[in-house]
Amino acid sequence: MNVSAHHKLFAMVMSLGLIAGCSSTGETTEDGAYGSDVSAVDQEGGSTVYGGDDDGGVSSSEMSEEQRREAEARAARAEEAAMREITTFYFDFDTSEIKADARDVLVAHARFLQANPGQNVRIEGHADERGTKEYNLALGERRANAIERFLIVNGASRGQTETISYGEEKPAVMGSSESAWAQNRRVELVFQ
């Protein structure tokens, strides 16, 4: 059930072409897309990254119980790793409320951070271009803070996180359409 939800979310994110400059493995620390913004070149690369999240083999009855558990654990790790491919979280206009379908992904990130205490993450808050720049700076920060709190509640430690707000200064997508605005109201996790 969860898996299919994640599939959907993932597919949606992919289709929007928002996974910018992510490496394909997801295992190693992603050297963030920070600063590079959303260039067209990166988008193309990102769009090819489709995770091997096919779990067809898991149901094999020939496997021993041990094998099966191992396989399941492997599959779960793979699933989590796949989930952690998602590093961008979206918000409605003038809100900093984390959407329900982002929670599992954020939990996966939090567990990862918990499992890797040496791993730091920079949480970047953004707003769409509408409204005033200074208010949007504060709004972006509030979004980043909301994500940070969620990660900490779910296992990350305070020392691993850092927040910054760019307000409306670094849009993911140029343009003044509803869809551009929707993609720009976001928080990005940049693992360092």
Partner 1 sequence: MGNQMTNRSTTGITRIGLAAAWFLMLVVMTAGNPANAELLIRITEGADSAIPVAVVPFSESGQIPSGDKVSNIVRDDLTMSGEFKPLPPEKMLSLPSKGDEVYFRDWRLLGQRYVLVGQLTRTGDKIEARYELFDVNREERILGATASSSVNSTRSLAHHISDKVYEAITGVPGAFSTKLAYVTLQRSGGEPMYRLQVSDVDGKRARVRLESDEPILSPAWSPDGKRLAYVSFETGKPAIYIHELSSGNRTRVADFRGLNSAPAWSPDGRSLLLTLSKDGNAEVYKMDIQSRSLKRLTNHWSIDTEPTWDHTGKGFFFTSDRSGGPQIYHKSSEDAEPRRITFGSRYNARPRPDDDGKYVYYVHQRDQAFHIARTNLQTEEETILTRTGSDESPSVSPNGRMLIYATKQSGDSVLTVIAADGGAAYSLPASEGDVREPAWSPIVK
Q: Which positions touch partner 1 (CB under 8 A)? A: 37, 39, 94, 129-135, 137-139, 141-142, 145, 163-167, 169-170, 175-176
Shortest Cβ 38–partner 1 spacing (Å) = 9
C-beta closer to partner 1: residue 81 or 180:
180
Shortest Cβ 48–partner 1 spacing (Å) = 20
C-beta closer to partner 1: residue 104 or 129:
129
C-beta closer to partner 1: residue 107 or 180:
180
Shortest Cβ 7–partner 1 spacing (Å) = 32
C-beta closer to partner 1: residue 111 or 170:
170
SS3 annotation, the chain: CHHHHHHHHHHHHHHHCCCCCCCCCCCCCCCCCCCCCCCHHHHHHHHCCCCCCCCHHHHCCCCCHHHHHHHHHHHHHHHHHHHCCCCEEECCCCCCCCCHHHHHHHHHHHHHHHHCCCCCEEEEEECCCCCCHHHHHHHHHHHHHHHHHHHHHCCCCHHHEEEEEEECCCCCCCCCCHHHHHHHCEEEEEEC
Shortest Cβ 134–partner 1 spacing (Å) = 4
